[in-house]
Amino acid sequence: MTSEKQMRQDPAYRCLQNLRGLVEKENVSAGIIAEVDKAMDLLKARMDFCEQQTTRPSQDLQQLMNSTLQHDWQKAHDQGQLDRIPSTMMMSGNLEVQFFRTLASLGNVKRVLELGLFTGCSALALAESLPEDGKVISCEIDPYNANLARSFLDKAAAGKKTPAQESMERLAQKKQQFDLIFLDADKPSYVQYYKMIFELGLLAPKGTILVDNALFFGDPYTKERFTGKVGDGITQFNEVVKDDNTVHKVLLPIRDGIMIIRRKEDVD
């Protein structure tokens, strides 16, 4: 079931929460309060329904998700292995990764580059849809997360398709290109990563870029700055992509927003 924390990614839900608090303080009818509650319940029910209608994760993928949720992040932080305690909401949910798997299976995708690994959820999901000789290469700046993801992926059958970590620059030096690039790294650097993908020639001909959190808590369209400077990075990224006439893009309201980007000549 969708958590309250996940629901608060939607600014409409947050607005209804605020309204619910206001009507409790005012002398309003029970009918109005009931309608506010119904609206909130409907938003959550729609998200839950989409999850329920979606193919369930494989046993390996479910185990990785469970391990991420159950991991002792506080202990790692207390031992100085992490600068901050990450939110497990950084992990792609099943609805999202099944969407990625569908896209990967539609084309001749064999090589995937992931910018932002976290604990390996999306990497494993994509690997499960690739052919036996397919590969998912990941870039992750946090050594602790990278090592933890490796320990999770090594337990999965498709984990062998997710080899060692690399950097964008090293991959470019090796003249490597990718059919699919998934951008889910630190949000303030999205514009930099987007430009590097093309400048370094990492996107293969007819390749696709998937971008996570393109609606980041609603900040790009509400201008509330609910997430501060982090959301500013996403807002700037959306503007850069919108103004880029060399690409075809579509922004989908799946979870916290997924943008699909392809070269214009590959779509027109």
Q: Which sequence spans correspond to the domains of the chain? A: 4-53, 59-267
Residue 11: its pLDDT value, please?
Answer: 96
What is the pLDDT averaged over residues 2-13? Answer: 92
* pLDDT(94) > 90: yes
Residue 97: its pLDDT value, please?
Answer: 96
Q: Is the distance from CB of 161 to CB of 135 less than 8 angstroms?
A: yes
* pLDDT(1) > 80: no
* pLDDT(164) > 80: no
Distance CA 65, CA 135 (A): 21
Q: If we measure between CA atoms, which residue out of 139, 141, 136 comes closest to residue 125?
A: 136
pLDDT interval class at 154 (50, 70, 90): very high
Question: Helix crossing, 30-53 with 94-106: angle to 10°?
Answer: 40
Residue 21: its pLDDT value, please?
Answer: 92
pLDDT in tens, 218-238: 999 999 999 999 999 999 999
Amino acid 159 reads G
What is the pLDDT averaged over residues 28-45? Answer: 94
Q: What is the CATH architecture assignment of 59-267?
A: 3-Layer(aba) Sandwich (3.40)
What is the pLDDT averaged over residues 45-54? Answer: 96
* pLDDT(147) > 80: yes
Q: Is the distance from CB of 40 to CB of 248 less than 8 angstroms?
A: no
pLDDT interval class at 2 (50, 70, 90): confident
Across 43-52, 156-165, 251-260, least confident range: 156-165
**β-pair partners for 250:** 260
Terminal C-alpha separation, the chain: 40
Q: What are phi and psi of 209, to 5 degrees?
A: -110, 130
Amino acid 91 reads M
